[in-house]
Chains A and B, each alone.
Chain A
């Protein structure tokens, strides 16, 4: 049993995921109060090169061909073994495609408590989780003895989890990885669309509030008048109203336009994750409690259908057309 805070480093195809740095920053905050060390856990094959700028007191590396790419079965085996042996105070996972494949299964397998979607921690050992699409925060004490935690971005800066000094690396023995039930076949590259929304300087982005496919043309008219393109949040893409290449957010693209005009987008954390690098976010929504107003610079509480036609006309007029 130690008071150390473990961070499972996420990486994909040779790149450390940003959430790993956010988790290291969070772990430092926690470790202060628990008087423990921050320990980075790195699973991979010849992946030690990724350790260079991780702000950890030390790093434990598991090196094995079966760990070269993430698969839930192999990663769970290694982590279950490690957590059981070391019994750290807490283990941080990303609230991501990788982290959520691990944390819940380990909670059951090891009989350890789990808190998900944590955004911030206090040195006294309290967590604040973000639920209900960012509309409700839940606070509590980190459960004992070892708390498994999934972390969402937004509470800590990635820079605070980076260091110019590499942590001391310990090579750990990999437990037997046989008869794995999950294997990677191949990666499929993202569809390249007609436009790259990550490079556009003005995005008119639509959410569930756009209601149906026919209304997409209203957003296209406005985008055209403004010299921008249309993008969307997950529900719009899942309905097939816009191409996958237009998806903004956690599972889509992170965008950085001069202006991000969000129409009928509530601002769920998964969406907000992809727009924080926008220069100016403007939100139009009928719900005054929509979390999007918490990240927007300007907002208007109005039905987008009452606004969009009028706005398009006024933009055209301003352009002199």
Chain B
């Protein structure tokens, strides 16, 4: 089983996000990029499949700040092969451009299964997985929280609202968008990642010219009015607690 996992780095939402001077894009200079959390689940799911049924796991990510750490961490978890896609990603790229960059490389690797996070927080032109599936003419199913491989088919659990699950059969090769791995992404100690850095190598492959066509043109970006409606309670923990108790009484729950 040749499993390929596509990883994207996204803005860390814990940090303050600002719009740049153009008024139409995020200010990248102060932006901290982290692995898309759904991609982290995709890595976990890929490694679980390898542990259960054997095979090779390849993780591919674009060459942006922090990518080496992300790839080496994946190797420490059990990924066999790491590929960094070289290209000018400094200004940010949309998913149409990124999926075209990935498509050529993925095609050459002849995967049985391609996994990626079902979505990412900066998606503005669809999600990476189904765009890639469209390009490679593979079937796509997203919102996946469980995968079993059986010969040339995969049996997947697709999530619907309210906790309902649809069990579907998907012919391989396929692209699957992972919502959650069957177990929480495993933890690896920093020392193990450091060790892996010495023994693993990251292969570099160049992306063809990045082509964003198919995504929208953004004319303005802005922050919604934060805290627009909430009445903010201030003071010490004691004072805020007292105010909350007052509110609970008023609402008749205390």
Binding site for B on A (CB under 8 A): 12-13, 17, 69-73, 96-97, 100-109, 111-117, 127, 129-143, 147, 150, 181-191, 201-202, 226-228, 234-235, 238-240, 244-245, 247, 250-254, 258-259, 266, 279-280, 282-283, 287-291, 293-302, 306-307, 310-311, 313-315, 318-319
Complex contact A182–B229 (CB within 8 A): no
* Minimum CB–CB distance for A257 against chain B, Å: 9
* 8 intermolecular pairs with C-beta atoms under 8 Å apart: A72-B139, A109-B134, A114-B125, A129-B216, A141-B216, A142-B216, A143-B216, A300-B240
Complex contact A104–B13 (CB within 8 A): no
Instruction: Say yes or no for B168: interface residue by CB 8 A criterion.
Output: yes
* Minimum CB–CB distance for B234 against chain A, Å: 7
Which of A69, A104, A245, A310 has its CB near the most chain B CB atoms (within 10 A)?
A104
Complex contact B37–A183 (CB within 8 A): no
Closest 3 CB pairs of A and B: A108-B134, A190-B163, A104-B126
Instruction: Say yes or no for B21: interface residue by CB 8 A criterion.
Output: no
Complex contact A289–B229 (CB within 8 A): no
Cα–Cα distance between A13 and B165 once the two chains are bound (Å): 12
Instruction: Say yes or no for B108: interface residue by CB 8 A criterion.
Output: no
Complex contact B230–A266 (CB within 8 A): no
Give the number of A-B contacts (CB < 8 Å): 295
Interface of B is mostly: mixed
Cα–Cα distance between A145 and B133 once the two chains are bound (Å): 23
Cα–Cα distance between A113 and B122 once the two chains are bound (Å): 17
Binding site for A on B (CB under 8 A): 11, 13-14, 16-17, 19, 26, 37, 41, 95-96, 99, 118-119, 121-127, 129-131, 133-135, 139-143, 155, 157-171, 174, 177, 179-180, 183-184, 213-234, 237-238, 240-242, 244-245, 247-249, 251-254
Q: Which residue of B lies closest to A192 (CB)?
A: B163
Q: In the complex, what residues of B have CB within 8 A of residue A130's CB? A: 224
Complex contact B160–A97 (CB within 8 A): yes
Cα–Cα distance between A116 and B226 once the two chains are bound (Å): 22
Q: In the complex, what residues of B have CB within 8 A of residue A132's CB? A: 11, 13, 17, 26, 121-122
A138 CB contact (under 8 Å) in B158, B218, B254 = B218
Q: Which residue of B lies closest to A109 (CB)?
A: B134
Complex contact A293–B230 (CB within 8 A): yes
Complex contact A182–B249 (CB within 8 A): no
Complex contact A235–B37 (CB within 8 A): yes
Q: In the complex, what residues of B have CB within 8 A of residue A253's CB? A: 162-163
Complex contact A240–B183 (CB within 8 A): yes
Complex contact B248–A135 (CB within 8 A): no
Complex contact A72–B221 (CB within 8 A): no
Complex contact A137–B248 (CB within 8 A): no
B227 CB contact (under 8 Å) in A109, A183, A293 = A293
Kindly list 7 other residue pairs between chains A and B, CB separation below 8 angstroms, not including A135-B17, A311-B244: A113-B215, A188-B166, A238-B180, A258-B251, A266-B13, A298-B231, A311-B240
Q: In the complex, what residues of B have CB within 8 A of residue A189's CB? A: 164
Contact of A191 with B163 at beta-carbon distance under 8 Å, contacts A141-B217, A293-B226 already known = yes
Q: Which residue of A lies closest to B231 (CB)?
A: A298
Complex contact B168–A71 (CB within 8 A): yes
B224 CB contact (under 8 Å) in A111, A201, A294 = A294
Complex contact A296–B179 (CB within 8 A): no
Complex contact A105–B218 (CB within 8 A): no
Contact of A294 with B229 at beta-carbon distance under 8 Å, contacts A311-B244, A318-B245 already known = yes
Complex contact A135–B223 (CB within 8 A): yes
